[in-house]
Structure 1
Amino acid sequence: MELQQMRYVVAVAETSSFTRAAERCQVVQSALSHQVARLERELGARLFERTSRRVRLTPAGEAFLPAARQALDAAERARAEVAAASGELRGRLAIGTIPTVTAVDLPSALKGFHVRHPQVRITLRVGASDELAEQVRQGSLDVAFLGLPPSVRPKGVSGRVLARGELVAAVEPGHPLAGEADVDLRRLSAEVFVDYPAGTAARVQSDEAFAAAGLTREVAYEVTNADLLARLVRLGLGVGMLPAAFAPEVPGVHVIELRDPPTRVEHMIWSRSRPSPPATAFLDALEAE
């Protein structure tokens, strides 16, 4: 069993295509298919179901994939450790973040890190706090920046609180509430809302505040990113809730402060096991800023 074979399996699983996997791995498709078939013979099980329309993992493939990723990560880590022992920082740095993080100027931090350590391959993944925390626990991300309600703390990871902040309401400029300096949640609860999917950390921040006030509200539009939320608000389809520190970055909406605002806490998290040399250097750089 070879690492290259594992890379091919991971690529096929992530692209659902032998053709796209070969393009990603920069090999001809026949060579990639041959190596996957060779690995399947060695394992005594098929890893993929192949049809004319799609490629998907078999139960054996589902079982094999996490172990293959762990083996590839371990090999990457070994190379990085050897390089670090020789005074050179190289390897992979995988960062995850929510789109509304404000406690850290992440683009500038990544730019500075890249200038100082050009041999490190940086990747960035934007997603929801719940998903990012799980990816840090699984080891597919080194560091992640989350936004959580005060009642929730990340589990199974190391981390620290970066900032605490309040949410504000965002409405279209012509909305009847746009002339108000501030409103309370009771008055706001009569509005139709644009918010994140129920159960997500970004949604719970607001849901808990309304529930604590004994209020219910109608969330008619559930979205997964701040850009779409802002667009629906600008079109007058509903009221949105945004972190106060992030709201100035959203053009075309009118921001209203709340007398009894929901709050959120920004966290930076990393693996409980010893971080890789690139991750350690990145965390040290943020601490120094």
Structure 2
Amino acid sequence: MKFDPRHLEILAAIVEAGGLTEGAAMLGKSQPSVSRSIAFLESRIGQRLFEPKRRPLRPTAIGLSLAQEGKKILEAGRAASTIADTFARGVAGAVRVAGTPIFMDGVISGVIAEFQGNYPNIRIDQSYAYADEALEKIAQDLLDLAILPMRPGTYSDDFAFHQILPGRNVIACRTGHPLAGQADLKSRDVESYPWIAPPANSPLFSDLRALLDRIDQREMKIGFTGGSLSAVLNVLVGSDSLTVLPFSVVFMLQRQNRIAALPIEIGDPERNLGILTRRSANPHMAARRFTDFITSRFDTIQREIAAAV
């Protein structure tokens, strides 16, 4: 014999609430419709579900047993409502975000950790991408947003880009480097040291080439090439190598007293760090909450950088 789950849910609500009117109110239904559902269910099984002429209502043995099954449906409905509510309020869900490896590992990952401390039920699906790939994935709805450095005018009107940090690069080295702490350094002072080169397809690689051209160091002495920030840092702190990094990354890592920025002006890139989204998209609440958190946190980071400079 098959039962309509809605009838069992109604039975459970009546038993839990202690009456037809109360059960109807619990479910947001009218009392007559609830009475009809119980009458139909009794006709279906050929037995009474409640003892006659008893107030408050008292379920029969079969009524109680069926109500216990209906309670599972009732509780599942409540759980589903709670889940839907958390997603609607943006305190649960999943956010798909990508960005360049150096920024994601050096700055964004720490902010993600802070975000999840506040919103542990929001999953962050993070990947790496440079601008062209990020634009394509956002257009295909494979990403909710990207956090990466971009130049104005390198994306169409289909996309929105909200700047969160001005672009600035520095020459980085280990804290005990022979050049660290020296004042009045000149660009020629770095000529004898090897360089750690970012990946050839990264914006930082272009910045390094431009820097070496400006200081007329055409023979780049590359001691290491590596894609991950952790690999770059391990080589940087264990050698006298130099590299070019975003100042925000160096600023965050300076707290560990492992690396430093040399006081040599190398010119700021035209790119600025920002949040890239599709203009026509209607982001879900978790993505909105994450975007707002990133924006707010970087407002604080920008003030900290300004105070330290």
Give yes or no for TM over 0.5. yes
1:32-51 mapped onto 2 (5 Å cutoff): none
Is contact 1:161-1:267 (8 Å) kept?
A: yes
CA distance 1:170–1:282, shift in 2 (3 Å):
closer
Match of 1:108 in 2: 114
8 Å CA contact 1:183, 1:259 repeated in 2:
no
SS in 2 for 1:101: helix
Among 209, 213, 223, the alignment partner of 1:211 is 213
Distance 1:245 1:211 in 2: 24
Deviations 1:229-268 (A, max 9, x none): 1111122162122222322415433431212344452111
Q: Which of 111, 127, 144 is the matching residue for 1:142?
A: 144
**TM-score, structure 1 length as denominator?**
0.56
Give the Cα separation in 1 of the matches to 2:180 and 2:155: 36
Alignment of 1:8-23 (within 5 A): none
TM-score by length of 2: 0.53
Cα offsets for 1:49-92 (capped at 9, x unmatched)? xxxxxxxxxxxxxxxxxxxxxxxxxxxxxxxxxx58x9555643
SS in 2 for 1:177: coil
Query: AA paired with 1:241?
Result: V
- The yes-or-no answer on 1:283 pairing with 2:286 is no
Q: 1:212-235: CA deviations, max 9, x gaps? A: 555433333211122111111122
Q: CA deviation at 1:174?
A: 4.6
Report if aligned partners of 1:168, 1:243 keep a CA contact under 8 Å in 2. yes
Task: Please point out which of 234, 253, 259 is paired with 1:253.
Answer: 259
Distance 1:212 1:273, change over 3 A: farther
Aligned residues: 203
Which position in structure 2 is the counterpart of 1:4?
A: none
The structure with more helix, counted as a fraction of residues: 2
Identity %: 17
Instruction: Tell me, yes or no, if structure 1 residue 271 matches structure 2 residue 278.
Output: yes
Map of 1:169 onto structure 2: 171
Larger radius of gyration: 2
Q: Is the 8 A contact 2:184 2:263 kept in 1?
A: yes
Mark the runs of 5 or more structure 2 residues left unpaired by the alignment.
1-83, 298-309
Offset, 1:104: 8.9
In structure 1, runs of 5+ residues without a counterpart are 1-82
